[in-house]
């Protein structure tokens, strides 16, 4: 887009030449643009509206299937058998409530974390929300600021803009007055201001914000696996459903009402109605829980992704150490030079428009302005050069930066700086140079004047966090732009393995293979350039690692973008928050273990409940096939067909205490198992054999007591009750297997579930209501024997599966592995 396409903001000067109003718009001019709709009023988040949430949770494929079956049952006049219709209300209601709660939490947190551009109006600079920007506003820029709308630069002081998020080009682009800047890029160094030329939906930022902050369950291994399973089940339901319809309506000879009830009873349990519901609930509750810990999850699968992480790359400053610093000592090369050094530091700190943590500490120590006036030349700090500088005419040219960059190696001052850095202190060199700091030859010849020694406070919770990751077999790599020795001192003080052997990134190999070899053995790296951080993430990923990158500075953006999971501190630059999937609004690295634990809870629990739902689907499909094939074979061999053994109310109560209530509790329970790939095969290894065992033994149990097509109504109820007893016994044992390893509350859940069925079968009212009759001792004994056989087969299958696939099986949770112990 050509610069000329932007309409200039003009005001008549004294000589008739149009000039840009650098003092900003007046209140009247702002009002004119608001009235004309020339505002940046775009939604803060692209979350679904309440109407969309309701529609998305009500009009689902599963609800449609259950709705049709409910209409069929109600048409027969049996309201009781339509109880499964409550699943539609449960599916929709719980999903709507949880998503609305999560939406409100996310929207509130997004407002808290929102970057506020500094807008100049009537000559006064004020931080405002992005939606308050209007066309032609003058917006100030400093290092780390994100450009929120498209515009044209009107002031530039060595302004460099990183457009890598837009173009993929890692090198910063110098922006002089008149240059175009696009929303979505950010300032890497320097300062300046620009005029808003495109706002609202016309600005590229609107599209970026919509994609970055969308509340949606986007692609993840967990949901992809569930979708794959559901598609497979749909294919199975079609032939099974056709067979059962044929058997009930044509082969069994039953009247239309009972035939339709049997058909619905066979089809309803095939639908894993609660699986998607439980997945959505687990994700949504996870987001709400993390929101309460001041953790903003911008993409829900980030919870799952972080649970799969096995390497965390952490920046030192702001992550392991607190971002604030204080001056420990000013060590001058010549004692008599102390006042001049103090004056230079005070002048440099006072005139820095956007001081970093080091400059703030210097300003706090030397608050008195020496009166040197405005700097005649400025060189902003750059992570590439590792120094900044200011020239003050007759007061000289001063630079402040890394001693190992500005000092000659082997000098006495360089040796002192190394010794101080080895003790964990941050050391800067104050020097004077022979050329202006904006000269092409800068910094030129440097005369070292003083070592500025700063202290970084290690976060009190950093050690516990590192120990947690170590206990979970997650490797932590400390990657910092600071001096390698200083970084190593901090890492070693926190007990990080290999922290006492830091690697200077300037000595790292350039080829990825060798770099990956180094990263496998070393844990602590200093003097890492932004492009190197990105390369290190890629090298780790090339070895099959799932990498999380934490950071808060502009130099972390490229690595955050490429990492599997990007984690930004809330106080970090707007650019880092824009590309990160997770933002720690409380700036605490110690929050990360809770995110990992939440992800593991979600993945582990969904895998548990998937076993329950899919076991039900397998045995329901198999029962339908067996009953349907009996109708087909009866036409060939002339024997009596077998009707479907259950009423719709039977399959409803069968799921209450074996799946429904236990699945809900298990989906929200603590779970600290490390996430693993291969979700679908693992689930099917238990669900398929268990479902086959339940389906076959239930069918056999029914055949043993089935009295033929001439059976009385009592005999029919007793036969159905016997089959139901067998099914419930084995399904409860599947629940017991899925709940392993046991802790006290899981055992209580299993006993309560069994107790619930004992009450249903014992009370006269419930027996009458649900048409249960266990009074035939022979039939009930036969059912119990079939159930015990199925229980033994499920148990044997579980142990054999573990042995075949190398999975460690255990019945009880060791005390040291209980959730919350780490």
3-state secondary structure 640-687: CCCCCCCCHHHHHHHHHHHHHHHHHHHHHCCCCCCCCCCHHHHHHHHH
Q: What does the alpha-carbon distance between residue 152 and residue 3 come to, in Å, rounded to a whole number?
A: 8
Residues 6 or more apart whose Cβ sits within 8 Å of residue 123: 23, 24
SS3 content of the chain, % helix, strand, coil (to 5): 55, 15, 30
Element (H, E) at 456: strand 446-458
Tell me how far apart the alpha carbons of residues 406 and 577 are, in angstroms, rounded to a whole number.
32
User: Residue 197, Cα to own-chain centre: how many angstroms?
Assistant: 34
Whether residue 315 lies in the annotated active site: yes
Structure tokens at 152: 């044209």
Rounded to whole angstroms, how far apart are CA atoms 302 and 550? 13
- Cα 464 to Cα 470: distance, rounded to the nearest angstrom: 10
333 Rama class: left (phi>0) / alpha (psi -120 to 50) / beta: alpha
Return d(Cα 524, Cα 496) in angstroms, integer: 9
Running DSSP on this structure, what letter comes out for residue 408? P
Give the 3-state secondary structure of residue 191.
Answer: strand
In whole angstroms, give the CA distance from residue 67 to residue 70.
5
Q: Name every residue whose Cβ is closer than 8 Å to that of residue 448 and which is 6 or more positions away in sequence.
A: 333, 406, 407, 411, 413, 429, 430, 431
Strand partners, 127: 118
CA distance 575 to 555: 10
Which structure tokens are listed for 127? Answer: 């931080």
CB contact set of 147 (below 8 Å; sequence gap of 6+):
141, 161, 181, 182, 183, 184, 185, 186, 187, 194, 205
Helix or strand or coil: residue 475?
A: strand
CA distance 447 to 246: 96
**Alpha-helical runs (H) found in 256-319:** 256-267, 273-292, 301-307
Collect all residues with Cβ–Cβ distance below 8 Å to 477 and sequence separation of at least 6.
311, 312, 313, 314, 519, 522, 523, 524, 525, 536, 540
Q: Is 430 helix (H, G, I), strand (E, B) or coil?
A: strand
Beta-carbon contacts of residue 300 (< 8 Å; ≥ 6 apart): 215, 216, 217, 218, 220, 283, 284, 286, 287
Tokens (6 digits) for 52: 């969309």
In 3-state terms, what secondary structure has residue 587?
coil
Q: Please check whether residue 694 is in contact with residue 615, taking contact to mean a CB–CB distance below 8 angstroms.
A: yes
Helix axes 273-292, 86-113, angle to 10 degrees: 30
The Cα 543–Cα 513 span in angstroms is 9
CA 118 to chain centre: 30
Q: Are residues 137 and 121 in contact, defined by beta-carbon separation less than 8 angstroms?
A: yes
The token pair at 397 is 């040219």
Which one of the listed residues 136, 145, 310, 315 is annotated catalytic? 315
Comparing CA positions, the residue from 271, 78, 261 lying closest to residue 643 is 261
Q: Provide the 3-class DSSP secondary structure of residue 816.
A: helix
Length of the chain: 822
CA 332, 334, 336, 339 torsion-angle sign: negative
List the one residue out of 708, 626, 707 whose CA is nearest residue 266.
626
Q: Which run of H or E residues covers position 750?
A: helix 744-762
Residues serving a catalytic function are: 315
């Amino acid at each position: 887009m050509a610069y000329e396409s932007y309409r200039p903001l003009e005001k008549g000067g004294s000589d008739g030449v149009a000039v840009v109003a650098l003092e900003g718009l007046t209140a009247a001019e702002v009002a004119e643009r608001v009235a004309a709709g020339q505002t940046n009023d775009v939604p803060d988040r692209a979350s679904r509206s309440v109407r969309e949430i309701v529609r998305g949770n009500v009009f689902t494929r599963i609800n449609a299937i259950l709705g049709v079956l409910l209409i069929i049952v109600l048409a027969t006049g049996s309201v009781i058998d339509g109880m499964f219709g409550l699943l539609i209300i449960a599916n929709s209601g719980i999903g709507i409530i949880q998503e609305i709660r999560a939406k409100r939490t996310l929207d509130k947190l997004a407002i808290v974390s929102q970057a506020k551009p500094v807008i100049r109006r009537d000559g006064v600079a004020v931080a405002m929300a992005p939606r308050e920007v209007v066309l032609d506003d003058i917006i100030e820029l400093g290092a780390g600021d994100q450009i929120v709308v498209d515009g044209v630069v009107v002031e530039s002081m060595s302004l460099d803009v990183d457009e890598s998020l837009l173009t993929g080009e890692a090198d910063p682009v110098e922006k002089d007055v008149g240059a175009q800047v696009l929303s979505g890029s950010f300032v890497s160094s320097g300062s300046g201001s620009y005029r808003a030329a495109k706002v609202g939906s016309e600005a590229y930022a609107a599209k970026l914000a919509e994609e970055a902050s969308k509340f949606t369950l986007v692609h993840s291994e967990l949901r992809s696996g569930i979708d794959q399973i559901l598609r497979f089940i749909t294919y199975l339901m079609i032939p099974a459903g056709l067979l059962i319809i044929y058997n009930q309506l044509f082969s069994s000879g039953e009247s239309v009402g009972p035939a339709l009830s049997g058909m619905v009873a066979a089809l309803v349990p095939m639908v894993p109605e609660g699986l998607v519901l439980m997945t959505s609930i687990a994700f949504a509750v996870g987001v709400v829980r993390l929101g309460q810990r001041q953790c903003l999850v911008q993409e829900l699968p980030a919870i799952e992704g972080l649970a799969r992480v096995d390497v965390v790359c952490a920046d030192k400053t702001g992550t392991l150490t607190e971002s604030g610093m204080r001056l420990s000592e000013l060590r001058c090369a010549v004692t008599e030079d102390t006042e001049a050094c103090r004056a230079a530091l005070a002048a440099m700190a006072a005139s820095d428009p956007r001081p970093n943590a080091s400059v703030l500490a210097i300003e706090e120590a030397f608050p008195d302005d020496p009166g040197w006036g405005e700097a005649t030349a400025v060189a902003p700090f750059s992570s590439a050069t590792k120094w900044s500088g200011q020239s003050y005419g007759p007061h000289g040219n001063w630079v402040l930066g890394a001693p190992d960059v500005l000092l000659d190696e082997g000098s006495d001052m360089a040796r002192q700086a190394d010794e101080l850095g080895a003790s964990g202190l941050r050391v800067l060199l104050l020097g004077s140079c022979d050329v202006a700091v904006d000269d092409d030859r800068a910094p030129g010849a440097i005369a070292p004047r003083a070592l500025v020694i700063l202290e970084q406070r290690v976060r009190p919770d950093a050690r516990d966090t590192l120990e947690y990751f170590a206990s979970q077999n997650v490797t932590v790599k400390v990657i910092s732009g600071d001096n390698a020795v200083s970084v190593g001192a901090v890492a070693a003080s926190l007990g990080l393995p290999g922290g006492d052997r830091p690697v200077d990134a300037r000595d790292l190999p350039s080829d990825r293979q060798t770099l990956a070899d180094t990263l496998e053995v070393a844990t602590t790296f200093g003097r890492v350039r932004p492009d190197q951080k990105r390369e290190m993430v890629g090298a780790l990923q090339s070895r099959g690692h799932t990498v999380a990158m934490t950071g808060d500075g502009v130099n972390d953006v490229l690595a955050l973008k490429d990492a599997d999971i990007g984690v930004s501190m809330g106080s970090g630059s707007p650019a880092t928050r824009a590309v990160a999937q997770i933002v720690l609004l409380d700036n605490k690295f110690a929050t990360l273990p809770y995110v990992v634990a939440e992800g593991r809870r979600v993945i582990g629990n969904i895998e548990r409940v998937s076993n329950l739902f899919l076991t039900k689907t397998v045995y329901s499909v198999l029962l339908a096939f067996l009953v349907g094939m009996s109708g087909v074979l009866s036409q060939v061999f002339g024997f009596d067909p077998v009707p479907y053994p259950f009423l719709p109310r039977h399959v409803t109560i069968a799921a209450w205490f074996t799946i429904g209530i236990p699945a809900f509790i298990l989906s929200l329970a603590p779970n600290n198992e490390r996430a693993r790939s291969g979700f679908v095969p693992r689930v099917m290894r238990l669900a398929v054999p268990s479902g086959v065992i339940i389906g076959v033994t239930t069918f056999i149990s029914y055949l043993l007591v089935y009295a033929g097509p001439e059976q009385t109504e009592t005999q029919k109820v007793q036969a159905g009750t016997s089959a139901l007893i067998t099914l419930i016994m084995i399904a409860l044992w599947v629940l017991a297997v899925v709940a392993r390893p046991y802790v006290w509350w899981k055992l209580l859940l299993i006993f309560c579930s069994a107790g619930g069925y004992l009450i249903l079968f014992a009370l006269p009212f419930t027996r009458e209501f649900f048409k249960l009759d266990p009074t035939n001792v022979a039939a009930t004994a036969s059912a119990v024997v079939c159930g015990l056989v199925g229980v033994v087969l499920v148990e044997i299958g579980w142990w054999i599966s573990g042995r075949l696939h190398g999975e460690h099986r255990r019945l009880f949770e060791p005390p040291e592995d209980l959730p919350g112990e780490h």
